Structure 1
Amino acid sequence: MSTTWITICDTCKRDGWDAGGAGQTDGEVLAALVERAAEGRGVRTRRVSCLMGCSHGCNVAIQAAGKLAYTLGKFAPEPGDAQAIVDYAALHAESDCGQVPYRQWPQGVKGHFITRHPPLPDDG
């Protein structure tokens, strides 16, 4: 089974972010929270600088080889949002195709889906 990855944009800045008063971007704060929440959950995390969804910050992508992939956004850099992201990614990891039935979605991800991408075709 392929590994489900949570890719977190660490350059995201939500509306109202103040560069003068913040030591970290909103994305960096969310990334740290997601990384902590993902420990021991069977999913992996990575940070990238810019998922190009600036109008939807904070953004993450949920991906695994051979499965549907999703971009989610409009998260707050808060523990509850981080936990919902990880909970959804764990369900994605358990799914054969990456599709999680809506009734199983954590409440905290509902309304946050931006895009869905089909898996890449096999080269063979």
Structure 2
Amino acid sequence: MTTWITICDTCKRDDWEARAPGVTDGETFADLIEAAAEGTADVRTRRHSCLMGCARGCNVAIQGPGKLNYTVGEFDPSVEAAEAVVEYASLHAQSETGQVPYKQWPQAIKGHFATRHPPLPSDD
């Protein structure tokens, strides 16, 4: 089953304008996550403007139908962080419930979880 990585493309960390004028940290992180996810089975990406986690940018949501869903944030937009997000999303996709045992989490994602949402109830 597909897991979606929804990337906030408007996230701005402190001093972002001095580091990359005109390009948000969220856009940079989105580029890195999209590149890391390329060719990864059962993981797709999309961008969304503002996940309302501004104090913890850069933010992404890891979501799958009928599964636990997570928001992770407070990342530096780096290759290491992007690869960890994609690796976790791949493990999420493989999990029936969306829960991934802590010992399997990539090191670079530990300490970045902000929320966990239960799956929406079915209409039945």
Using structure 1 for the length normalisation, give the TM-score. Answer: 0.96
Q: How much has 1:77 moved relative to structure 2? A: 1.0
- Three-state SS of the structure 2 residue aligned to 1:18 is helix
Q: Which residue of 2 aligns with 1:121?
A: 121
Q: 1:21 to 1:35 in 2, by over 3 A?
A: closer
Higher mean C-alpha displacement, 13-22 vs 51-60: 13-22
Q: Which residue of 2 aligns with 1:36?
A: 35
**What are the residue-to-residue correspondences of 1:57-72 with 2, within 5 Å?**
57-72=57-72
Which residue identity is paired with 1:34? Answer: I
Q: Distance in 2 between matches of 1:107 and 1:98?
A: 18
Which residue identity is paired with 1:99? Answer: Q
- Report the aligned-residue RMSD: 1.2
Higher mean C-alpha displacement, 32-41 vs 16-25: 16-25
- Give the number of aligned pairs: 123
Q: Which residue of 2 aligns with 1:7?
A: 6
Structure 1's consecutive aligned runs of 4 or more residues displaced over 2 angstroms after TM superposition are: none
Q: Which residue of 2 aligns with 1:56?
A: 56
Q: Distance in 2 between matches of 1:92 and 1:114?
A: 16
Deviations 1:50-97 (A, max 9, x none): 000000000000000000000000011111110000000000000000
Which residue identity is paired with 2:23? Answer: Q
Runs of 5+ unmatched residues, structure 2:
none
Q: 1:120 to 1:94 in 2, by over 3 A?
A: same
Q: How much has 1:20 moved relative to structure 2? A: 8.7
Aligned sequence identity (%): 67
Using structure 2 for the length normalisation, give the TM-score. Answer: 0.96
Runs of 5+ unmatched residues, structure 1:
none
Q: Distance in 1 between matches of 2:20 and 2:101?
A: 41
